[in-house]
Amino acid sequence: MGVDVDPARKSIGARRNPDSADAILEAAEAVLVEAGYAGFSIEAVARRARAGKPTIYRWWPSKAALLLDVYQRQKRVDVPDTGRLEEDLVGFLKNLFAHWRETSSGSVFRSLIAEAQSDDAASAALAGYALGRTSHTGQIIERAKTRGEIGVDIDSALVADLIASFAWKHLLTNRLDEDQASIRKTVSYVMRGIAAPGK
């Protein structure tokens, strides 16, 4: 029985080819939709993408690393820049909760966090991702520093971690329907601790 192999996919090589990488990520998304997190495997992705498992492992050292790329590919969360830190953080959390609630990415990320508790590769992948996200959210805090809204001595990464902790707790407990008033209350408590003197 002959197998229809796309010649362009015969050998993808060590360097990540954008078209081939996209095909693998698309295949990973499709496997995730069809089989769920429990049925997701590198083997299934390789079959669907018509790519070799060694190539996938060369580009993504673990299932968790591949899933994090799938998660990031799906993630579309607007980060407001209103000129006021409190409004930016409230808007960011509101948008993040809506994204997790309305797409499959929330359940993907929840599963990755769960797997990281017992799998070293997943834990390392998640730690790397969290560091990047802390830096990204920290930029919101840095903008507020530049405007003089918060003290110059405030640790932006630590504030970003506090905001992420609130978000992750809601994701892990499946409480993504938090209303804007509750989100605003949480942000206002954080703001009281970091506001510049006289603000």
Reported as a single tens digit per residue, the pLDDT across 103-139 is 888 888 988 898 898 889 889 989 988 888 888 899 9
Query: Mean pLDDT throughout 10-21?
Result: 64
In terms of CATH, what superfamily is 7-59?
A: Homeodomain-like (1.10.10.60)
Stretch(es) of the chain classified as CATH 1.10.357.10: 72-194
- In the prediction, which pLDDT does 199 show? 66
What is the number of other CB atoms lying within 10 angstroms of the CB of residue 26? Answer: 15
pLDDT band at 3 (very low <50, low <70, confident <90, very high): very low
Question: Of residues 185 and 35, which shows the higher confidence score?
Answer: 185
In the predicted structure, residue 45 carries a pLDDT above the cut 60: yes
Classify 174 in phi/psi space as left (phi over 0), alpha (psi -120 to 50) or beta.
Answer: left
pLDDT band at 9 (very low <50, low <70, confident <90, very high): very low
Stretch(es) of the chain classified as CATH 1.10.10.60: 7-59
- In the prediction, which pLDDT does 173 show? 93
Pick the CATH number of 72-194 from 3.40.605.10, 1.10.150.120, 1.10.357.10, 3.40.190.10: 1.10.357.10
Largest CA distance in the chain: 77
The model's pTM: 0.79
Distance (Å, whole) CA 63 – CA 5: 24
Q: pLDDT > 70: what percent of the chain?
A: 91
List the one residue out of 176, 193, 136 whose CA is nearest residue 160: 136
- In the prediction, which pLDDT does 75 show? 83
pLDDT band at 147 (very low <50, low <70, confident <90, very high): very high
